[in-house]
Amino acid sequence: MSAREDEFLEYVQSGGQVETTDWMPDDYRAKLIKFIEMHGNSELMGVLPEREWILRAPTLQRKLALTAKVQDEVGHSQLIYRVVSDLGKPREHCLDDLISGKSKFHNVFHYPTKTWGDVGVIAWLVDAAAIISQKALLKCSYAPYARIMKKICWEESFHILHGRDVILTMMNGTDAQRELVQEALDRWWGPLMQFHGNPIPAEDDPMYIWRIKSQGNGEARQQFLDGYVPQIWELGLTVSDPKLRKNDDGVWEFSEPDWDELKHVVTGHGPKTEERLGLRRTTRGETEWVRRVVLPEAA
C-alpha cells in the first residue's frame, strides 16, 4: 500500500467519511461497487417473490400494501444503483451483470414463496434481518451511501410493520392459518440464519477494514436473534432449531447455519434463481424499446 493509501485507510478507520469527488484507492472503489451493487441487485430481485402474491393477497388493502412495498424496494434499487453509477459503474452495466449471473444477490431471494404465510415472514423477518445490516450502514465510510440508507431504513420499518400485521392477523385466526405461519417460519429459518453471512471476524472482513460495514456478520446475527426470537416466541410460534437459546451472558447459541447451502444458493444455484433471472431477462427485453425512446444514451 502506498503512503497515500495508508493515510486513507487510517482516515476511514478513525471514522472519516468520503464523498464521490474525493480521491480514493482503487481497491476501496472496487469493494464499494461490489458491495453496493449486490445490495441494489437484492432490492430489485427481492420484489419478485412478493410480486407473485400481489394478485393472490387476501384483501384489497393487502394487495395495495404489498404493491406499495414492491414499489419501495424498486425505489431502493434505483437509489442504490445511482450511487454505484456515480462510483463509475452505470446502472445498465449492473443490470447486464445481474441477468447474466455475473453479479450476486442475497440468498433469501432465491427461494420460493409457497403460501401467504411466506409473504408475512418475508416482510417481517427478512426485512428485519435486512434492516439490521442497513442500520449498520448508516455509519458507512462512503457518505453518499450512508445518506440514502437513512431514507431506506425509514421505509423498511414500514415493511416490518406490514409484515407483523400480516403475521398477527393470521396468528389471531384459525388453526389452519396459524399452521401456515409456523410452516413458513420453518421454511425460512435456515435461510434467515445464513442471511448475515459467515461469521468471519470483523477484523478479517475487507468490507469492515474499509469501514464500508460497521459491524461483523456474527454481531449482526446476534442482534437479529436478540430482537426477534422473543417476538417469535411470544406469539406461540416455535423455532425449528433445538439448540437455540440465550445464554446467561446474553449471547445466543444456535446450530451452525448451513454455509454450503448459502454458498450454493448465492452463486446462482438456488431453487428459484434461474426462473427469477429469466423473468428479469424477459422483461428487460420487452422494455428495451422504452429505454430506447426515453433514454437515448442507454440504447
Partner 1 sequence: MIYEVFRQERKGQAFAHAGSVEAPNEEFAEWYAREEFGRRGESVALWVVPREAVHEIDEFVDELGRNYHRVDGYPLKEKLKQARERAGTSADRRS
Contact footprint for partner 1 (CB under 8 A) = 21, 71, 75, 78-79, 82, 85-86, 91, 147-148, 151, 154-155, 158, 294-296
Comparing CB distances to Fe ion, the nearer of 73 and 118 is 73
Which partner in partner 1, Fe ion, none is near 62 (CB below 5 to 8 A by kind)? none
Nearest CA to 122 out of 59, 65, 46, 13 is that of 46
Which phi and psi (to 5°) does residue 142 adopt? -90, 105
Instruction: Report the nearest approach of partner 1 to the CB of residue 216 (Å).
Output: 28
Cα angle at 165 between 245 and 74, to 5 degrees?
100
Nearest CA to 146 out of 79, 199, 92, 91 is that of 79
Residue whose grid cell is 437455540:
244
Per this entry, what is the length of the chain?
299
Comparing CB distances to partner 1, the nearer of 80 and 237 is 80
Instruction: Report the nearest approach of Fe ion to the CB of residue 160 (Å).
Output: 8
Instruction: Report the nearest approach of Fe ion to the CB of residue 150 (Å).
Output: 13
Task: Report how far residue 105's alpha carbon sits from residue 136's, in angstroms, rounded to the nearest whole number.
Answer: 19
Comparing CB distances to partner 1, the nearer of 86 and 186 is 86
Nearest CA to 91 out of 39, 24, 37 is that of 37
Comparing CB distances to Fe ion, the nearer of 89 and 159 is 159
**Contact partners, residue 203, CB within 8 Å, separation at least 6:** 209
Total residues at interface with Fe ion (CB under 5 A): 6
Q: List the one residue from 38, 73, 84, 237 that touches Fe ion (CB under 5 A).
A: 73
Instruction: Report the nearest approach of Fe ion to the CB of residue 57 (Å).
Output: 16
Q: Does 76 engage in binding with Fe ion (CB under 5 A)?
A: yes
Which partner in partner 1, Fe ion, none is near 159 (CB below 5 to 8 A by kind)? Fe ion
Q: Does 127 engage in binding with Fe ion (CB under 5 A)?
A: yes
How many CB atoms are located within 10 Å of the residue 123 CB? 25
Task: Report how far residue 179's alpha carbon sits from residue 124's, in angstroms, rounded to the nearest whole number.
Answer: 17
Q: Which residues bind to Fe ion, rule: CB under 5 A?
A: 43, 73, 76, 127, 156, 159
